[in-house]
């Protein structure tokens, strides 16, 4: 018997709902454990202005 050619186009899957980091649609942002201070904003601005691509940004941020 052949498998049916079914494409799953669901936006939300049940297996996603059970993950600990799942944020429901319009559920708001997760609670912060620390406060974003002025230095963090300045460092982010410098990082955004010194990188040219998203890949460069992620490489710099992971270091």
Q: What is the pLDDT of residue 62?
A: 66
**pTM of structure:** 0.46
- Judged against a pLDDT cut of 70, whether residue 47 lies above it is answered with yes
Query: How many alpha carbons fall within 13 Å on the CB side of residue 55?
Result: 0
pLDDT per position as a tens digit, 16-33: 777 777 777 777 777 788
SS (H, E, C) the chain: CCCCCCCCCCCCCHHHHCCCCCCCCCCCCCCCCCCCCHHHHHHHHHHHHHCCCHHHHHHHHHC
CA 29 to chain centre: 11
- Judged against a pLDDT cut of 90, whether residue 57 lies above it is answered with no
Percent of the chain with pLDDT over 90: 13
Taking the alpha carbons of 26, 37, 62, 45 in that order, is the dihedral positive or negative? positive
């Amino acid at each position: 018997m052949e498998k049916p050619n079914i494409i799953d186009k669901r936006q939300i899957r049940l297996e996603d709902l059970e993950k600990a980091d799942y944020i429901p649609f319009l559920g708001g942002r997760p609670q912060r454990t620390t406060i974003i201070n002025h230095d963090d904003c300045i460092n982010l601005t410098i990082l955004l202005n010194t990188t040219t691509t998203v890949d460069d940004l992620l490489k710099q941020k992971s270091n």
